[in-house]
Amino acid sequence: MQQFTEDTLAAARAETRGTGPGPGRIIFAGTPEIAATALRTLLGSGAEVAAVLTRPDAPVGRRRKLTPSPVAQVAEEAGIPVIKADRVDAEVTAELTGLEATLGVVVAYGALLPTPALEAPARGWVNLHYSQLPLHRGAAPVPHTMLAGATETAATVFQLERGMDTGPIHGTCSYQIAEASSAGTVLEELTALGASLLVVLLPDLLAGRSTAQEQVGDPSYAPKLTSEDAFIDPRHPAAELVHRINATIPEPGAWTLSGDQRIKLGVARLYRPEPPADSTSDQLRASDPALPETRVEVGAVRQLDPEHPGAGPLIGFRAGDGADVVLTSVQPSGKQMLNAADWYRGLQETVLLGGPEHQRPEQVPHESTRAHPAPTEAAAPAAAPGTPSTPPTPMEDRTR
């Protein structure tokens, strides 16, 4: 198993430029834009892609026009044969086998690969996953990593087998999650790293020289998030709220209530005011946002003082632990997403987030370490919402 940081991966990638991955035909299976990014990178490296397996054309946009998947579009532009299938049945498996490929590469295809299909390429299939396996196996590793408050994750390339994300690991690249990043942003940046990781690993994978290492440690699982998971209840601690907001953007989409009106929230961060240099210990304690202040009601939206001299004012709300959450943007019901300061200036009255108790959805913590039965066939991740697939699938299904 090869392990990289972002810097060492960049150096390894630079060494591969102009050399090509060596002999061997590849089948690429993927559907949404992140998969298209990986396919472009592989093609740019000189990889020989024999065919692409993707989901069928699906309705897109307000007019619901049937549109090829992003992966199909890239393949067609490159003159690569495209196999479109909702499920990999005996007929599709026969097509895959007939390609006589050396290796299969999966990046968010969106359907199961049954055992006969797994055996079609001579060296099987590898899958690009978005977590430090065995953590966060399943459909939504990036959101669950962020919900847990982790500041580091990884792009991982592993050998696909019958179990769900259980195969041995060929290579990883660590990734630092920046503050105030959405799950969508993290996914895009991990895709760029993962695509480079595939290029660096490809010569050894095609030649059969790669030494994969079994996963070590207790697994956890990352099921798709629901709209209820994305509800922001200000009674929780500020750090937890920031994690939940950012983990559920762009989908299912962080939301809360203002009265009985539903509003969506953009990325958020903790409020960290810089104490004045001449403050006494009593003054510091009085200004510490981590200490509860009974004068500010939980959920109250207000303008916050600048965090340091020269900075502008911020808009935030009070969390259950007495700290404040800084909002960057807000989308009121029926309107476009607005800069938080613009939204605040237009308010006619004090706003308390969270809504009436009886309208707040119940949030059930996910059992992240519960053992899951192994599926009978290997699962490939599903496609992104708004990308051609049948039927459309939430974003979390494409993050494996």
270 SS3 class:
strand
Asked whether residue 153 is domain-assigned, the answer is yes
pLDDT value, residue 291: 55
Instruction: Answer whether residue 110 is part of any domain.
Output: yes
Task: Give the side-chain half-sphere CA count within 13 A for 283.
Answer: 7
- Which domain does 114 fall in, by range? 2-222+372-398
Same domain, 275 and 141: no
pLDDT of residue 364: 66
Does residue 231 sit within a domain?
Answer: no
Question: Helices marked H in 17-78 — which ranges?
Answer: 33-44, 70-78
CB-CB contact of 331 with 341 (8 Å) = no
- Classify strands 48-54 and 82-84 as parallel, antiparallel or unpaired: parallel
Tokens of 251: 């989908």
Examine the domain organization and report whether 173 and 296 are in the same domain.
no
Question: Could you tell me which residues are beta bridge partners of residue 125?
Answer: 104
Question: pLDDT at position 112, please?
Answer: 84
Same domain, 242 and 334: yes
Quick one: which of 13, 14, 38, 218 has its CA closest to 128? 38
Strands (E), the chain: 2-4, 25-30, 48-54, 58-60, 65-67, 82-84, 103-107, 112-113, 125-129, 152-159, 169-176, 255-258, 261-265, 268-270, 301-304, 314-318, 324-327, 329-331, 338-339, 378-379
- Clarify whether residues 293 and 202 are in a common domain: no
pLDDT value at residue 111: 85
Q: For residue 259, what is the enclosing H or E element?
A: none
Considering the domain boundaries, does residue 230 fall inside one?
A: no
Tokens of 163: 């179990």
| Inside any domain, residue 6 | yes
149 and 34 share one domain: yes
Alpha carbon distance 386, 392 (integer Å): 7
| The pLDDT value given to residue 128 | 98
List, for residues 314-341, the tens digit of each pLDDT value.
Answer: 999 999 999 999 999 999 999 999 999 9
| Residue type (1 letter), 66 | L
Residues 286 and 212 in one domain: no
For residue 366, being part of any structural domain is answered with: no
- Enumerate residues 6+ apart whose C-beta is below 8 A from 193: 6, 9, 155, 173, 175
Q: What is the CATH number of the domain that holds 54?
A: 3.40.50.170
The total number of structural domains in the chain stands at 2
Burial call 321-340: b when 16+ CB within 10 Å, e when fewer = bbbbbbbbbbbbeeeeebeb
In a domain, 364, yes or no: no
Amino acid occupying residue 147 = L
How far is residue 142's CA from residue 201's CA, in Å, rounded to a whole number? 23
Q: Which of 63, 50, 59, 193 is nearest to 129 (CA)?
A: 193
Residue 329, domain CATH: 3.10.25.10
Residue pointed to by tokens 């989308």? 331
Predicted pLDDT of residue 365: 67
Report yes or no: 241 and 60 within 8 Å, Cβ to Cβ.
no
Per-residue pLDDT of the chain (400 residues; tens, 9 = 90+): 999 999 999 999 999 888 889 899 999 999 999 999 999 999 999 999 999 999 999 988 888 889 999 999 999 999 999 999 999 999 999 999 999 999 999 999 988 899 999 999 999 999 999 999 999 999 999 999 999 999 999 999 999 998 899 999 999 999 999 999 999 999 999 999 999 999 999 999 999 999 999 999 999 999 999 999 999 999 999 999 999 999 999 999 999 999 889 999 999 999 999 876 665 555 545 445 555 554 799 999 999 999 888 788 899 999 999 999 999 999 999 999 999 999 999 998 889 999 888 788 877 665 554 444 444 455 554 444 334 333 333 333 333 4
Strands 48-54 and 25-30: parallel
